[in-house]
């Protein structure tokens, strides 16, 4: 590689940190000259952002242009995709953190946009003729980049304007998106709007488009209880309505039969137990062409989220045969480099079954060992402290009470002892009579909710016998899962096994959500106990022993015994 090429790569890698630093400095100066971020008016936020566009009226304004001069000069050195991404990101950072998260205002990085456009073209989307919409347009990353790609293919501005559009619920953000599209297309764009203002979820545009590209807002809609609108019940679990599920349904309705839908979403729908209806709905209405996992954990600025990009083809009514389910899988690594990785499989023939991603570990698909083979049964923690505060005793046991285990008590490699959240003694739960929530056996506890910042999704520790001897039982709060022995069980071995990288990477293939579910644990392939014991005798390294046990050929199921 030539010196000039090396210098270019180093400059490219250094640019994001330099820009982030400039954004922080610029925002600090804005807060001094205008108002704190929490008090900044929407029109002022928009004007300051538009001042980053060369030639805009706001850039020429002394009031706005002066505040962003240095940042604008730095952004002018970038290509149009990267420049527009940072301009959109700057807009969101002029919002308060709470407002940004409430509105889910996070934009798609250029590498992902380019990747999805490329994969859609590979799947047959003809951008010289296709009609396309983004129903959650935001900063117009898809609309603008698609317009740019159409321009590369020789399409004129008038033709592009007639075939591509976006909808954005935030009127100021819609104006920003429109300005970014016009910045790309130049004066040819004219006065007509490509980004319309409105709520996509209530528009009546059905089956009009050859392609739908969307990075929808994420997060649950709270306060619905178990009652959800009738039309949502086909793809949402009761009490768990996720915004991105609603937009997935919308995108499927907007696309023509045979049309493509390209999405950027959390990966929770791939195998999460609360997304069974969504998986079934997707497979009923569309062919899943591919899912590409985003290995970066900072895909969206200021957010830690496991995410993936997917491409679906809406089924045509005339097609009688159902295609085999084998979507391609790829991975975008931390440097945005893409590699094919295999195909998705399922554990059974049901349309709602979890989708299992390919992995590099050996023995996954042929391994028949399960948690029950280790002599334990998973049980979700039942105590919800903020609903039963009258039963919670802080730091002192009075009457018939049992120690409470919090998720924070569970640390890999250490004995699990009951401690309060503030580490000031032990919390207890009062029971007037016998209750199924009281566990009276030494058990293994797991954190029920983890996040992508943690090195492992499975975090396990054992409750020692001395806790049972002293208190005659214990209670788990609802962010934990207990693995309770059915009879004899080697809990220390099970804890070591569950805390290995070998098991964790396999769990990520069947547990695509940050919430560790009972179903995912039951379905988690584990080495058969006898193979694990045999492997331990062959190597002193436990991680190597677990991998070796996974690779062993499975014997008859009748030979499977608890460890």
Helix (H, G, I), strand (E, B) or coil at 561: coil
The whole-angstrom distance between residue 152's C-alpha and the CA centroid of its chain comes to 32
524 and 468 in one domain?
yes
pLDDT at 188: 53
Task: Please check whether residue 528 lies inside any domain of the structure.
Answer: yes
Show the CA angle centred on residue 138, arms to residues 137 and 143, nearest 5°.
40
pLDDT at 456: 79
Task: Please check whether residue 143 lies inside any domain of the structure.
Answer: no
Domain finish residue from 331, 356, 381? 356
pLDDT at 204: 75
Q: Per DSSP, what are the bridge partners of residue 132?
A: 164, 211
Here the CATH number for the domain that contains residue 453 is 3.90.220.10
Give the CA distances from residue 124 to residues 258, 313, 326, in Å, rounded to whole numbers and listed in that order. 10, 10, 18
pLDDT at 73: 92
The whole-angstrom distance between residue 87's C-alpha and the CA centroid of its chain comes to 24
380 and 338 in one domain?
no
CA atoms of 345 and 365, how far apart (whole Å)? 9
499 and 393 in one domain?
yes
446 and 323 in one domain?
no
Domain range enclosing 268: 108-135+203-356
pLDDT at 115: 95
For the residues of 291-327, what is the DSSP string, one character each?
A: EEEE--S-SSTT----EEEEEEEEPPTT--SPPP---
CA atoms of 510 and 524, how far apart (whole Å)? 7
514 and 470 in one domain?
yes
Length of the chain: 563
455 and 311 in one domain?
no
Q: Mean pLDDT of residues grouped by 10 in the chain (563 residues)?
A: 36 68 92 88 92 87 89 92 92 82 73 95 97 94 94 93 93 93 75 86 85 89 68 84 92 96 90 86 95 70 66 82 83 85 80 78 62 92 86 80 92 88 85 88 88 74 92 92 90 93 81 70 86 93 92 51 49
State in Å, rounded, how far the first CA of the chain is from the last one. Answer: 55
Helix (H, G, I), strand (E, B) or coil at 476: strand
For the residues of 222-244, what is the DSSP string, one character each?
A: -S-TT---GGGTTTSBTTB-BHH
Task: Please check whether residue 192 lies inside any domain of the structure.
Answer: no
Task: Please check whether residue 155 lies inside any domain of the structure.
Answer: no
**Cβ-contact 196, 166 below 8 angstroms:** yes
CA atoms of 144 and 217, how far apart (whole Å)? 19
- Cα-Cα-Cα-Cα dihedral of 283, 284, 285, 289, to 10°? 20
Task: Please check whether residue 543 lies inside any domain of the structure.
Answer: yes
377 and 519 in one domain?
yes
326 and 426 in one domain?
no
**Structural domains of the chain, count:** 3
428 and 539 in one domain?
yes
121 and 51 in one domain?
no
Residue 111 is encoded by which pair of tokens?
A: 């590498």
Q: H or E stretch including 31?
A: helix 3-33
């Amino acid at each position: 590689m030539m010196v000039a090429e090396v210098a270019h790569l180093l400059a490219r890698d250094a640019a994001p940190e330099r820009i982030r630093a400039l954004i922080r400095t610029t925002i600090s100066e804005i807060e001094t000259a205008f108002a704190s971020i929490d008090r900044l008016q929407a029109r002022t936020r928009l004007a300051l952002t538009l001042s980053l566009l060369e030639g805009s009226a706001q850039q020429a304004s002394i009031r706005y242009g002066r505040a962003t001069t240095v940042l604008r000069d730095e952004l002018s050195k970038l290509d149009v995709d990267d420049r527009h991404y940072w301009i959109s990101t700057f807009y969101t950072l002029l919002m308060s953190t709470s407002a940004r998260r409430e509105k889910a205002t996070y934009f798609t990085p250029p590498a992902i946009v380019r990747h999805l456009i490329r994969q859609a073209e590979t799947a047959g989307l003809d951008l010289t003729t296709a009609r396309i919409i983004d129903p959650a347009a935001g900063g117009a990353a898809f609309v603008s980049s698609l317009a740019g790609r159409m321009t590369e293919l020789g399409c004129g501005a008038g033709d592009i304007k007639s075939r591509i559009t976006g909808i954005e619920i935030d009127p100021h953000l819609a104006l920003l998106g429109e300005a970014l599209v016009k910045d790309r297309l130049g004066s040819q764009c004219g006065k007509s709007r490509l980004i319309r203002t409105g709520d996509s979820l209530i528009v009546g545009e059905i089956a009009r488009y050859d392609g739908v590209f969307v990075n929808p807002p994420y997060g649950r809609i709270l306060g619905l209880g178990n009652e959800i609108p009738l039309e949502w019940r086909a793809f949402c679990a009761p009490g768990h309505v996720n915004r991105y599920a609603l937009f997935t349904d919308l995108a499927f309705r907007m696309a023509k039969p045979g049309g493509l839908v390209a999405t950027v979403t959390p990966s929770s729908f791939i195998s999460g137990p609360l997304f069974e209806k969504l998986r079934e709905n997707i497979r009923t209405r569309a062919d899943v062409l591919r899912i590409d996992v985003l290995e970066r954990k900072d895909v969206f600025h200021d957010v830690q989220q496991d995410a993936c990009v997917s491409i679906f083809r809406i089924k045509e009514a005339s097609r009688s045969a159902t295609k085999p389910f084998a979507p391609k899988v790829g991975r975008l690594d931390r440097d945005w480099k893409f590699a094919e990785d295999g195909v998705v499989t399922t554990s059974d023939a049901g349309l709602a079954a979890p989708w299992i991603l390919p992995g590099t570990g050996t023995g996954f698909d042929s391994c028949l060992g399960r948690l029950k083979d280790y002599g334990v049964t998973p049980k979700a923690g039942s105590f919800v402290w903020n609903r039963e505060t009258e039963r919670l005793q802080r730091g002192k046991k009075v009457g018939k009470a049992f120690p409470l285990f919090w998720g924070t008590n569970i640390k890999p490699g250490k004995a699990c002892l009951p401690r309060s959240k503030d580490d000031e003694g032990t919390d207890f739960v009062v029971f007037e009579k016998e209750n199924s929530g009281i566990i009276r056996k030494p058990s293994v506890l797991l954190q029920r909710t983890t996040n992508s910042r943690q090195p492992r999704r499975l975090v396990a520790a054992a409750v020692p016998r001395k806790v049972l001897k002293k208190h005659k039982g214990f209670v788990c709060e609802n962010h934990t899962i207990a693995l309770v022995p059915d009879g004899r069980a080697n809990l220390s071995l099970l804890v070591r096994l569950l805390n290995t990288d070998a098991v964790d990477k396999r769990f990520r293939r069947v547990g695509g959500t940050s919430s560790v579910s009972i179903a995912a644990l039951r379905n988690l392939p584990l080495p058969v106990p006898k193979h694990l014991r045999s492997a331990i005798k062959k190597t002193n390294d436990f991680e190597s022993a677990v991998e070796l046990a996974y690779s062993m050929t499975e014997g008859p199921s009748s030979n499977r015994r608890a460890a």
